[in-house]
Structure 1
Amino acid sequence: MKIAVVAANGKAGSKIVDEAIARGHEVTAIVRGENRSHAPEAIITDILDITAEQISGFDALIDAFGAYAEDQLPLHDASAQHLADLSAATGVHFYVVGGAGSLFVDPEHTTQLLDTDAFPAEFRPLADAQRKQLANLRGRTDATWTFVSPAIEFLADGEKTGSYEIAGEELSFNEDGKSQVSYADFASAIVHLAEDGGHVRERVSVRW
């Protein structure tokens, strides 16, 4: 496959690049500045300036963009809508590295994790921005997208176990009662999803 990874220099993006290369795919990094990932090819541009011509011919476009400063939080939704526009124009399958805050905590899907008292207040602005990102993607029937939420504990330096579970929209726990996944195993999961090509216009989650 030909896979492009947006924000390939980041912790999640670089892991995704490495996983895709290890599986034998042709990988291109899309970064704002110098390509510091292991991708052999790079497109140097701002995320909002990516063009349909640049991604034409790719099988998957994986968006690992993340902003944490308050004034940059709206970029989650703005960039997702821009990339959805490109998906609609080119047919590329667009995957978003989302957050856990928008996972539902009830089978009726009326309450999301970030709306519970247990959710840390300091992470709520980011989670809310990612919830809006997902909500607006749900209205895009013209684009081919998949939103992928990690577990509650998203472990940047966690080990690669080679084991993970792709679950649905509800918050779930492993047999030890934990919701965890490492960046490395999440990268394995998202590349697997890209290879499979399913879950079109759906949100899924990944945990150990």
Structure 2
Amino acid sequence: MKLTVFGATGGVGGEIVRQALAAGHEVTAVVRDPSRLSATGTTGESLEVFRADLTDPEALRAAVAGRDAVLSGLGARKRADAGITAQLTRSVVRAMEAEGVRRLVVVSAAPVGPPAERRPVVDRIVGSLVSTILKPVYDDLRTMEADLAASATDWTSVRPPRLQDKPVTGGYRKVVGGTPVSGRFIGRADVAHAMLAALDDLSTVKQGVGVAY
């Protein structure tokens, strides 16, 4: 497949690029600073690095034109960045709609999805505390998902809990339209794996997908 990846220098986005290249896909990595991608050692004949202003939908059209799908690892890295995910994703969506590209998979977060059924009390307490502390970040992601629901894209939102730096395992739980019970952690590499796997999974179209170990 011909894929475009936004947030390609981030933890999840970088994993998407590496795993997609390893799987034989042609990848366009959209970045603001190409040196950050080259510093990771990510290379390959099937990799195109596209430098662009992510706030400008017109500048992004060439990055998505003719692609089979778009994946986004965009997200706020701290509370002060809250608001940027929805803003930048709007630019991506507008560029996709202008070019007639429909398939989009984004990373979100577990608290944005519905609570897991039969949650233990400790999970409820911890979940409430985290949601309060990171409320601006999660509000940003909720706005992003609302924008996606109103768009013409065939979107999927992958919602992980706390992220870890671990090798890809493929051994995680997935709940389409829901949240895994007591799902507290998952590796960034496995989030990327889940996002790539969602591309061909029609059951995930226009759905949030909870993932966790």
TM superposition score normalised by structure 2? 0.81
Q: What code does the residue aligned with 1:193 have?
A: A
Residue correspondence of structure 1 range 20-169 to structure 2 within 5 A: 20-34=20-34, 35-36=37-38, 37=40, 38-39=42-43, 40-49=47-56, 50-89=59-98, 90-105=100-115, 117-140=128-151, 142-150=152-160, 152-155=161-164, 157-169=165-177
Give me the whole-angstrom Cα distance separating, in 1, the residues matched to 2:200 and 2:116.
30
Q: Which structure has more helix as a fraction of its residues? A: 2
Rounded to whole Å, the distance in 1 between the matches of 2:30 and 2:60 is: 11
More deviation, 54-63/78-87 = 78-87
Q: Is the 8 A contact 1:4 1:60 kept in 2?
A: yes
Alpha-carbon deviation of 1:74? 1.7
Amino acid at match of 1:43: F
1:76–1:133 Cα contact (<8 Å) kept: yes
> Unmatched 5+ residue regions in structure 2?
118-123
SS for the counterpart of 2:19 is helix
Give the residue type in structure 2 aligned to 1:146.
T
User: C-alpha separation between the residues in 1 aligned to 2:73 and 2:128?
Assistant: 28
Give the root-mean-square deviation of aligned CA atoms.
Answer: 2.4
The answer for unaligned runs of 5 or more in structure 1 is 108-112
Counterpart of 2:67, as a letter, is F
Q: How many residues align?
A: 197
The Cα of 1:30 is off from its aligned counterpart by 0.4
Structure 2 vs 1, CA of residues 181 and 68 (structure 1 numbering), >3 Å: closer, same or farther?
closer
- Give every structure 1 segment of 4 or more consecutive aligned residues whose post-TM-superposition deviation is greater than 3 Å: 68-72, 195-198
**Distance of 1:129 and 1:83 partners within structure 2:** 16
**CA distance in 2 between partners of 1:178 and 1:83 (Å):** 30
Asked if the contact 1:99/1:149 (under 8 Å) is kept, the reply is yes
Q: Identity rate of aligned residues, in percent?
A: 26
